[in-house]
Chains A and B, each alone.
Chain A
Amino acid sequence: MSESFSYHRFGGLITRYWAERKLVLMLNATVLVLAMFAIFFYHLNPENDFPVRALWPFVAVIGFAIFIAWQMQSVFYELNNNKQCSLFVMLPASKMEKYLFLILMGFVLPATVYVGMTYLIEQLSVWIMGVESPEYLWSDINWRLFLRDFPAMLFVCLVWFTGFLVFRKSHLLFSTISIGVFMFVLSKVEAYLTASFSDLYVHTSVPFYGLTLKLYTTYFDFDQGLLVDYYSYSTIFVVLFTIAVFAANYYKFKEKQIKA
């Protein structure tokens, strides 16, 4: 019997979670599908003027965050409920398996389900309505949205995930406040740097959004071919940062103590 990882035990954790929460999960998915259909049909309606129609990508990104937060709340419920946590922590599965389970069910699976669902809804809606629109997420491969806005949302979700392991209660609230404080401090630092160094162009302060951009903008012309450099650099940064945060969270998870 492997101490660190076994597919049998990992599958057992997922089966257990599904059996306990299948009704809530199916309800979440149904609400999501209905909301997405309603918004997308509204978006496709030619009678709506442009600002309203442009809401679709914005709603898609905000919806992503809400859906992930919802799922995280569900998957961390047992761990952060003092009466229930002993059942989860005392289950004969390794810490690695339990942590991977939290990542899979609280982060990876909801994100995959959400992106897959937006794609299907978009395709289905376009097919039903028989129209085309330049603001689709997938049909026109509008990668700008995913590469710019989704990574920013990914950062928010990472902080939420960390918040569930760090804060004792009101995890989403406290972690969102932390993001707000972080953004405020970052904007002050950037304002100070801009004022101190006249040749430095500070673009924006959203992490995973424009944090690395300023490293390039001093030397390159933003409008001429910089996007490729920016995105390739940013992707590596995002991947490494994400891995580092998950690794730090694993340490926190291992050391979690519970009074049952």
Chain B
Amino acid sequence: MIEFKNVVFSYSRKQTLFEDIDLTMNAGNIYGLLGKNGVGKTTLLNLICGLLFPKSGECRVMGYTPQERKVGLLSNLFYVPDEIALPAMKLKDFVRVNKPFYPNFDEKLMQSCLDEFEVSGNENLAKLSHGQKKKVYISFALACQTNLLLMDEPTNGLDIPSKSTFRKLLAGVANEERCIVISTHQVRDLENLIDAVVIMDNSRVLLQGTMEQITEKLVFRSLEKDEKALYEESGMKGRWGVMENSSGEFSKVDMEMLFNTVIGNKREIERIFSNI
């Protein structure tokens, strides 16, 4: 679905943001794009959808070169940015004038998403709060039924019940033909939804893989006394840590611990995941 080979990108000549990035994302997965502030998560999404162009290297998305912005690609791709400025018009008019561009647009699905988020079709978009705008735009994005859906911090601004609604709706539209990429800081919001991760650090991708691949290589469990881990946390339940999985033990991935492990043990992680 998405293939990056030796992609180099920079905003200025002096400072390179991405150096030789290789990345592959497949259909049938919901990817979590994780990284510290400023590592280039939004920039990566912008490169995937063709808003920005790489300085060198090859980007292919569904067989297209994104920077050409071909209709075939754009009609099968939807991008939900973090900050959305919707026009001053009624929601139903917004849907009426924008849906003809998306051949698979499903009006019933749109209505069902709006009902779940408790947003009325008669609302004036300019008068909505940031969170409500997010709900409207996410509903529209899901109703477009594109095979590639890119979302930048989709849960920012959503209240607690809406975050749960968002997870439910996203799980409902995920299928084998669709690839969903979500850039987020709030991994707890999406922990049970994400089935593959891409973790970025300065200029490069540190880790990419599905949950199965990660649990094959790493184990997340409570630690014995004096047992050493790649990363550990102490809390009410005692010491929990992340270790290399040498015994084929099964465990559930804790996203925050995974992220901290990867960021704190770059070389070790590269070695462990070198054969993925």
Contact = CB atoms under 8 A, between A and B. Distances in A.
Interface string A81-94: 10110110111111
B237 interface: no
B165 interface: no
Contacts, number: 77
Most buried by A among B42, B53, B69, B93: B69
Nearest to A1: B71
Tell me which of B11, B46, B71, B78 has the highest count of chain A C-beta atoms within 10 A of its own C-beta. Answer: B71
A199 interface: no
Contact of B101 (A12, A19, A86): A12
B102 A81 contact: no
B93 A89 contact: no
B77 A258 contact: no
Contacts of B96: 19
B128 interface: no
A19 B97 contact: yes
Contacts of B100: 8, 12
A144 interface: no
Interface string B53-85: 100000000000000011110110111010111
Contact of B49 (A6, A90, A94, A95): A90
A3 interface: yes
Interface residues of A, number: 27
Given A90-B49, A259-B43, A260-B79, A16 B71 contact: no
A214 interface: no
B154 to A, nearest CB: 14
A20 interface: yes
A52 to B, nearest CB: 41
B71 A9 contact: yes
A20 B93 CA distance: 9
For chain B, give the interface size range. 20 to 34
Contacts of A257: 51-53
- Most chain B Cβ neighbours within 10 Å, of A8, A20, A89, A90: A90
B98 interface: yes
Contact of A93 (B43, B71, B88): B71
B51 A90 contact: yes
Contacts of B11: 259
Nearest to B82: A260
B69 to A, nearest CB: 6
A218 interface: no
Contacts of B53: 255, 257
Interface in B170-194: none
Contacts of B89: 19-20
B87 interface: yes
A81 B11 CA distance: 19
A259 B88 CA distance: 23
Given A15-B97, A19-B93, A257-B51, A94 B71 contact: yes
A253 to B, nearest CB: 11
A238 B75 CA distance: 38
A71 to B, nearest CB: 17
Nearest to B87: A20
Contacts of B93: 19
A174 to B, nearest CB: 21
Contacts of B74: 90-93
Given A20-B89, A81-B85, A259-B43, A86 B97 contact: no
Contacts of A20: 87-89, 97
B50 to A, nearest CB: 8
Given A93-B71, A94-B71, A95-B69, A260 B81 contact: yes
Contact of B84 (A1, A83, A90, A93): A83
Interface of B: 11, 42-43, 46, 49-53, 69-72, 74-75, 77-79, 81, 83-85, 87-89, 93, 96-98, 100-102, 152
Given A16-B97, A259-B52, 6 more contacts: A1-B71, A89-B69, A90-B79, A257-B51, A259-B11, A260-B79
23 contacts: A1-B71, A3-B72, A15-B97, A19-B89, A19-B93, A83-B81, A83-B83, A83-B84, A86-B81, A87-B85, A89-B50, A90-B51, A90-B78, A93-B101, A94-B69, A255-B53, A257-B53, A258-B46, A258-B51, A259-B43, A259-B51, A260-B46, A260-B81
Q: Which 7 pairs of residues, A with B, have the shortest CB-CB distance?
A: A83-B85, A92-B75, A92-B74, A16-B97, A20-B87, A92-B101, A260-B81
